[in-house]
Amino acid sequence: MTVRLNKEALALARTLVREGDVVRDERDDWSEHAPSTAEENAFIEKHGMSEYAKWHLAEDTAETEGTKGRLKFPYGDFRRVHRCAVISGESRAGQHDHTSIEKALRDLLADIDGDQS
């Protein structure tokens, strides 16, 4: 399995954080805040897979291109970055030795926590 950082998704996440499009929720909230399968499919239907991919900070190149299974480490709800998703992703990336993704998520979390305006 080769999991690589999705730089386009990271750029979007950073822009959203800079613009204040962030939900400053708690660590364990992602299971409740994550989009449902129906919401994901509706988003893909309306915007396409390439836009859906921008909401995932990594892709597994061993998975089939153009599928949801290829995309890893979601960070938001298609409108805003969720702090809980970033925390969850950072933890999972660390557990699986995806160091570039772990660092990107750590830096994104620092941006979120540092911008308490």
- Tens digits of residue pLDDT in 61-81: 999 999 999 999 999 999 999
Structure tokens that stand for 12 in this block: 């979007």
- Number of structural domains (the chain) is 1
Model pLDDT, residue 117? 47
The predicted-structure confidence for 21-68, as pLDDT tens digits, reads as follows 999 988 788 889 999 999 999 999 999 999 999 999 999 999 999 999
Instruction: Answer yes or no: are the C-beta atoms of 55 and 47 closer than 8 Å.
Output: no
Residue span of the structural domain in which 50 resides: 3-114
Say what the pTM is.
0.92
What whole-number distance in Å separates Cα of residue 21 and Cα of residue 101?
Answer: 21
> Is residue 4 classed as helix, strand or coil in its secondary structure?
strand
